[in-house]
Structure 1
């Protein structure tokens, strides 16, 4: 993940095109024609060994060394076998950006021979040259007047960035968008992604002030899923991001790509994209409609939609689609209803959706829309029109456009039909008003905006108070896994798995073990009553092991056996079956438990799996030994907080059952969410855990109880897709003047309430010194952004201490450092509570953040302060910063080198 040299792709001052000619079908020739047609203002050069004087008027040279100057960007359309050598020569001549449109480089016929793509990487690596492609369609940047692609047409200038992995789908999108008069800020496809990858491009376009939204076409995530999720989460905080995820599965590759216990890779991508705060669309039609809303609509005020049409049939279609999609119909105020009564027929229903009647004129359409746009209960309006003599499409469209332009609400339009509706839609397109062919498409597009809003709200929910964990017990859990790995095992025994859950305070059913039938009988006698006996063997020691025919977790299980004779007979049959299938080496003895079945118990399946792409995932859903547990399986990326844990529970069928049958639904949901939090802790604490399954977990009026558990382990440590809380950075300190004990630690989402208290305790002068202006109380959205941070991108350390009155803890000061994607510069800011001046907090916080940035390899740390803030300037000088007055910004810049640059591009970046 790096934006290094990406500016040379998107804003090159000069371009060289390799393999260009005027022959029919020459890709390089097409690129030159497109650059000329787009009126590219920079210098262009063609390279072709045939020795042409020019290609379409562009000077041509027979080799790289003959170029009058080295280009910012090289575009390679040469035969595939020549590409690695071209890259090597470009690198030797200090060219730092190359785009490869040539295809077929990833084909690998001989497993012992490197593919051309691998050879391209090898050629580029010594020189640090960035590679876009191979097999990409190129890129188009209307703002730079650059169409450096083989697209058959250019694109219009707009506010949406399109990043794709499929070149053909990209050209289809361009064709459609031009027909709809929709433009883009950037348009590119990545092809094989030899170097420049999705996270890098997402980071680059997210920083562009002219890009308001990002549209991502995704086949699959290649490379680091953590970088991908981090880039998406960062971008989605400031821009609307929509993703079209295609489900392309190579033959014979399906099982290798599925996590244990996950029946469909799609649900994993759903969970990852939802956690990143973006909205997924399922079809290319939805992608086109999403682009319509992205480029036409204003920021969404809320989720309540008012629908109007000159007939109830289309209204019913739209309303049905809205409610089935989880949308909300606006409840109109009495004032609005009374005003509508003045312009609608006497027999209208006084409800939303609104039937304007078949005789509705253009004036009636606009009068109703004008009234609805003033109702505080309405957040958006959908106007549906079916052509009639009283309401011709074009005339009605012109009137609707007038209202839409002056309305603060979002207005979506639907012009049903074809002959007369096409022109009406064209009028809306020209006026930048979102328009659709069917009511269902219009509602789907609106719901994409709603889903984005909801995902952002979930991402910014304030977590419940953090509870300190029992770190001593967690160490014992690590020792259990370490001992098993030392023995060469890839699993924990049933006893070890139960003990590991005990270390995290997860209630587990008491289990007793025996290696022979006689021992099982003796245990059953001591327990008394009804018992269950499970045969342990190689087939069921691993999580998510189900019989393919019956889909049962435990085939070798007997329940409700009472007398010693029943136990002996049943266990003998189990032993025979196990011996027949696994032999003596595969048998692992027996587990005996008292029966815990109850009429009011709900059986749940919960656990952890490891996805090949996104790493550890928490699993939740319906459970049991004999039910199809895959029918209700939901996943979420860890780490999670209480708000996210509850969301996972509430998305499952289990939630509906609890709501309908539980006497204490809130308590039950709280207990399940708490269990999910503990599983999240297990994932973070135990990187050698591969999979964990609790099935069944019983939930009843007594609480929760894990009846059975299986755990697999691996020497390969997991890497979470979302950076967990870095607990190793916590440090106990003592305040200088008062001797008060405190802790300096990374900020957590749970700190939001205390952070607001801390902010409110600051004097107006301290706030002005920190933000350079006077400002009011921060909103929840701002506070969430300050406390729920991505530890891969920024760091905020707070000093937390017990309150003097004994009521919990309080925040005393905070230092924040935001680092650019290339880890060149980190910008710091620090603020301390006014009444704590002289306690040494400033120097403690600054040394902490300096040490942190230095260890992560950041080259420079910098900050700015007002000239009147002499205290900050003095502190900076004491720590070794160089202070200079910035005349343009009228601030004092404070800079300190932490690590020396090792590459030319780093030196260049530091100089700008």
Structure 2
């Protein structure tokens, strides 16, 4: 998350290129020529120990010590062995940013490369110098006239930032974009980053006003998955983030370890990116098309698409692709139908997609496009053209372009073919109109934008209230896991696993345990009715232990045993099989349960697993002992709320089956969501819990029942998304009235109460808080205020039961937003007008001070209007230093919480 000194990479005032010469094969020389050709306005210097006086007309110096001034940015293209020494000298001379383009420093199998990489890291550490690379292609910022790369061509200025991990894919993207006349706001590749990583770059770009969207090309996450997810979540709140994720080549350098119960790493990345609000593209072609769309599409009005073509064949291709992607065909109005009927052949069926017929002229194409863009039921139009004598590609393109320029709606175009279609696409490119080669590509690009808006809507959905209050049970659950680990086990016994579910109020059947066959018979006789028997051994006490065909261990089960003789016979067979395969120490006896198959019961597989990159994951899908549960494996990152749990259920085949067969669909879905939330809380509460599998979980008209379960343990793991900080909650008493209230962190479920709180504020309180008069906040604003990333910001509220009526009300709120480097946190506070004098301001501010100090923040700052004497008095009372900011006409309030320990921190505090 650290962005210190990154501005020096993207907006340097001076640059020194190490290893630059005029040789044709000199990478440093290529970089220097690119800097000159791009018109870089700052000072350029070359450094080469060979003794050149100039390189390409730029003054050249022998070493760092000979430079007339230290550069903002050093670009290192020198031989690998010299790089650590150069970095060390740069750091000693207070240079704060260095980009290493030199190859051969990435962690290969050779110890030499690994050693050089570590030497670079160690050389930079004492001085706080930021390192981009090695093995990166450099960076380009057209707005700053900066081409600090070895790219073969420069790029145009645009509004999309590209960040990649592969230099060659980056150069291919530049070449393609240049041919399409598409530009970028920023362009860089990271290589195998020693220091500057993907989250830091995303954080920087998310604050850049010139960047409206971010394209990421990556093959793996280097460093903290939590930082990556947090950065993408923050960026996707304001900008579209698209990701091309490729798989890692198994070449000895990297290996992919799959989470138990997961058969494909892509499923995990899909879940993580979806949770972060990003949109994933599957191929490089889709990435190119996404760039086309991002660079040229107007703001999205909605999802309803109208299709238009001079033939039904291409329309059918586009329509089929749209429906496969869960897109929406626009239902055109009767008025539009009548207008179109006046210009179309009588054979037109009056429906969308619109068939113009092969006799369509350029004018008919344009008029039909114009009428569709006027339809209130149409959000975007895709015009598809197949070349004919009646409608030449270029002439049709020119007519459609005239219409597309005049409408606020998006008009996407597809010019099929090659010979005559190339020039038509060139005309669209020159006019800034999105254009594609095939109908499928056009629909895919449109649906990427739709998916982004759907993800944003899902991220901002207000979750329903649901809180677990069984704190004593949760403490007992922690003790149970710790006791198991203390005894040397990395799993729970079957009885302990059932107890764990009981502690989290997940229903389990009546279960008995026996060490031998007579014991099983006695339990079955006591239970009565039909029973099931399961043999336990070292392989099936662990979750997700499937055989080679991905099936559950059904051979260890005997089901539907009605008589004692059946019980004895089946248990004998199980005991014989286990005895053949396991010794006495690896056999753990038998489980006996009453059969709970139930009438019209559905079997579900649900649980928790742990990914080596992203940590704990929630799994959900169709279950059973004898089916391939991996065929319906849906994944989501915890923690979950009701809205997220509902998404997880609805993506599964389970939901379709419930929707078709259940008499109470919403009740059944709510039961599943409650169970998922309880498992999510388990993942949060119990960091030692590695995996938990419930299979089968029965769902029928009586509710849910966890028939069988298994739990494994490991060292504590961190979630990729910060959970709700329940430990910060405390009970307080108001100063004047003595009313009992709760001081805690805000959560998404507080949105309705937060809206009531805002509406209760007087116009003067709103003006003092926001520095201007403002209207009622929108749902999107409220979601941003309440659904926060606890790694990046904190909002504390005081909430209490309403004095009249049911529910809770918010009495006051304080918010603290911390920068990526944890140097400063900026606070803002507002208390309800009728709560003045209750001591809420002191409570909220002291809570914020303690919280920021504990997380290592150096300084807490805020500003208020000169007329807000109450806030100024509160700040003085708490120990803030007060000063008047003449430039902004505000009162600044500052408090040091922790002393800086590094030079860069002191520098940041002074600027």
SS in 2 for 1:896: strand
Residues 147 and 154, structure 1, Cα contact 8 Å, conserved in 2: yes
Q: How does 1:21-420 map to 2 (within 5 A)?
A: 21-109=21-109, 114-251=114-251, 256-420=256-420
What is the deviation of 1:219? 0.6
What is the deviation of 1:417? 1.8
What is the deviation of 1:296? 0.4
What is the deviation of 1:109? 4.5
Residues 769 and 828, structure 2, Cα contact 8 Å, conserved in 1: yes
Distance 1:724 1:471 in 2: 16
- In structure 2, stretches of 5+ residues that fail to align are none
Q: CA RMSD in A?
A: 1.5
SS in 1 for 2:860: strand
What is the deviation of 1:114? 4.8
Residues 599 and 700, structure 2, Cα contact 8 Å, conserved in 1: no
Distance 1:573 1:387 in 2: 72
Distance 2:38 2:252 in 1: 44
What is the deviation of 1:360? 2.3
Residues 307 and 353, structure 1, Cα contact 8 Å, conserved in 2: yes
Distance 1:549 1:157 in 2: 53
SS in 2 for 1:351: coil
Residues 108 and 253, structure 2, Cα contact 8 Å, conserved in 1: no
Q: Look up the match of 1:422.
A: 422
Q: Look up the match of 1:761.
A: 760
Q: Does 1:483 align with 2:501?
A: no
Distance 1:864 1:374 in 2: 48
What is the deviation of 1:108? 4.7
Higher mean alpha-carbon deviation, 251-260 vs 676-685, is at 251-260
Q: Look up the match of 1:624.
A: 624
CA shift digits 1:222-274 (9 cap, x unpaired): 11000000000000000011000112241579985200010000000000000
Distance 1:255 1:142 in 2: 37
What is the deviation of 1:467? 2.8
Q: Look up the match of 1:834.
A: 833
Q: Does 1:848 align with 2:853?
A: no
What is the deviation of 1:92? 1.4
Distance 2:455 2:807 in 1: 32
Q: Look up the match of 2:545.
A: 545
Distance 1:111 1:508 in 2: 54
Q: 1:892 to 1:549 in 2, by over 3 A?
A: closer
Q: How does 1:814-833 map to 2 (within 5 A)?
A: 814-833=813-832
Q: TM-score w.r.t. structure 1 length?
A: 0.98
What is the deviation of 1:115? 2.7
What is the deviation of 1:550? 6.7
Distance 1:619 1:393 in 2: 50
Residues 307 and 352, structure 2, Cα contact 8 Å, conserved in 1: yes
CA shift digits 1:427-479 (9 cap, x unpaired): 11111111111111111100000000001111111000133421111111111
Q: 1:767 to 1:550 in 2, by over 3 A?
A: closer
What is the deviation of 1:599? 4.3
SS in 1 for 2:374: coil
Residues 87 and 124, structure 1, Cα contact 8 Å, conserved in 2: yes
Higher mean alpha-carbon deviation, 249-258 vs 638-647, is at 249-258
Q: Look up the match of 2:871.
A: 872
CA shift digits 1:151-203 (9 cap, x unpaired): 11111010000000000000000000000000001000000011000000000
Distance 1:262 1:227 in 2: 23
Distance 1:709 1:889 in 2: 62
Paired residues in the alignment total 911
Higher mean alpha-carbon deviation, 557-566 vs 805-814, is at 557-566
Q: Look up the match of 2:457.
A: 457
Q: How does 1:7-22 map to 2 (within 5 A)?
A: 7-22=7-22
SS in 2 for 1:442: helix
Distance 1:255 1:504 in 2: 36
SS in 2 for 1:817: strand
CA shift digits 1:24-71 (9 cap, x unpaired): 211111111111111111111112221111111111122221111111
Residues 104 and 113, structure 2, Cα contact 8 Å, conserved in 1: no
Residues 540 and 554, structure 1, Cα contact 8 Å, conserved in 2: no
Q: 1:326 to 1:575 in 2, by over 3 A?
A: same
What is the deviation of 1:577? 1.9
Residues 105 and 114, structure 2, Cα contact 8 Å, conserved in 1: no
Q: 1:108 to 1:251 in 2, by over 3 A?
A: closer
Residues 107 and 113, structure 2, Cα contact 8 Å, conserved in 1: no
Distance 1:412 1:549 in 2: 46
Q: How does 1:517-528 map to 2 (within 5 A)?
A: 517-528=517-528
Distance 1:397 1:699 in 2: 57
Distance 2:549 2:718 in 1: 34
Q: Look up the match of 1:447.
A: 447
Distance 2:676 2:134 in 1: 43
Residues 248 and 256, structure 2, Cα contact 8 Å, conserved in 1: no
SS in 2 for 1:320: helix
What is the deviation of 1:667? 1.2
Q: 1:78 to 1:884 in 2, by over 3 A?
A: same
Q: 1:521 to 1:111 in 2, by over 3 A?
A: farther
What is the deviation of 1:349? 1.9
- In structure 1, stretches of 5+ residues that fail to align are none
Q: Look up the match of 1:708.
A: 708
Distance 1:856 1:529 in 2: 59
Distance 2:803 2:391 in 1: 72
CA shift digits 1:58-99 (9 cap, x unpaired): 111222211111111111111112211211121111111111
What is the deviation of 1:20? 1.4
SS in 1 for 2:186: strand
Q: TM-score w.r.t. structure 2 length?
A: 0.98
Q: 1:36 to 1:253 in 2, by over 3 A?
A: closer
Distance 2:255 2:646 in 1: 30
Residues 108 and 115, structure 1, Cα contact 8 Å, conserved in 2: no
Q: How does 1:653-802 map to 2 (within 5 A)?
A: 653-714=653-714, 716-802=715-801
